Amino acid sequence: MELRLHQPVDVEVLDGTFQDTRDFCFSNGGVFVAERAFSSFRFIDIEGKVTVKPGSLKSRTDLLSQLTRFSLPLDGTVPVPRKRLAVHLQT
């Protein structure tokens, strides 16, 4: 997104498709976008500063989605992929 800050704000979407966007919020290098069409929030990492703490991923599904994001192997019980993700994020 590119914003020209004046009243009212000019918004230009540089990447992505949004369905019936209602609001957005910038915070620490990221954008939270509220969309009515999907009844959800999207998060966009603008500055590449957002990190994942593997210990904070509570479910196996969350862990596997992060492993998939980085094209890492999905095998093993939860502690094994959690460690694999932690090692990947440290490098």
Amino acid at 23: D
**Residues 6, 41 share a domain:** yes
**Residues 60, 39 share a domain:** no
73 pLDDT more than 90: yes
Residue 75: predicted pLDDT: 92
**Residues 61, 36 share a domain:** no
**Residues 35, 13 share a domain:** yes
**Residues 59, 27 share a domain:** no
Note the pLDDT tens digit of each residue in 42-72.
666 667 766 778 888 888 888 888 899 889 9
**Residues 58, 39 share a domain:** no
**Residues 61, 83 share a domain:** yes
**Residues 59, 40 share a domain:** no
Q: For residue 26, what are the β-bridge partners?
A: 31
Q: How far apart are CA 65 and CA 83, in angstroms?
A: 15
Number of domains forming the structure of the chain: 2
Written as six digits, the tokens of 76 are 């093993």
SS3 content of the chain, % helix, strand, coil (to 5): 25, 25, 45
**pLDDT band at residue 39 under the 50/70/90 scheme:** low
Note the pLDDT tens digit of each residue in 9-31.
666 666 666 666 777 777 777 77
